A and B are shown apart, each in its own frame.
Chain A
């Protein structure tokens, strides 16, 4: 199975980038696809709180950390790497990757490269899409419209949006559906994965005593999200590869 490197980024903070990374890792775990994660939100690392066992915090400006992430791609037994790029660092990170030959290596077929670009409700987000277009040739480029935080998240003019979107070759679009605020907060407070929350498990694996209603909301949200993620070729390829007979390893890569 060829390695797949999935970058999750946004040039603007507060658009739900880490939530998208969490949702993606959660989805992969539910599909028994082993993944490892790097959180470039140095030194805090929100993602690590939810996936402590598989997440490492790195500083993308630091060469040693760049090596930790990229040099291990060829040797890692875990074939999916998710990188949660620090808010505002998307263009910079793509520049670094371009400079050190990561994009060329992906183009040459050394590994699969994907970018999930989480966009916000502003023209600035559209401009971001224009900026990253220079880097997205030959990689899977997914624009994630995140509705999780606000009900009316996307209020821009659809025609304008489509105009920007049309410029991006082979771009796919997904929507991260809205999750009830109280349910979202409870998962956040519990510091567990979305799946563990629905299973009523706390971060130590014991009974969480979480509200049935809130668990129900999260269960519904996961189910809606599965439909979105499951429609991406990038994901279906991973699922196919993971379920093919030549794949080894166990599936215990969640935080619980």
Chain B
């Protein structure tokens, strides 16, 4: 596979994945750009991997999770806390508001937990593959998922 072929096939899905991770189109662009520049410069090594697609997803996820590396993060930190939802309603029939609440709650999760949720419920990956992406044990993936879901449920109850 050439780099061009890879980009043709994978750039759009990667960008969507990055939007789900960061929750922000601009940050997603920065994240994908930084990752893909490195992919292009090291394409021979990437192409040697069993699955270049998985390899690049792992690069991008690590870039996102490890906030100390990578210049794009600085901008994220400057933005500080996510905006509070404007109209917080306790009326659960207001489904649109509920949905936006879930999106904003996601942004308060630790990055690693958010990544696990995106890989599980957006990319629909099995636990073993999520563990491979994050470089951790399958048990860690499961506990991260249940901890993240517990946090979200608690938010539900409070709201």
- Co-complex (A, B): no
Binding site for B on A (CB under 8 A): none
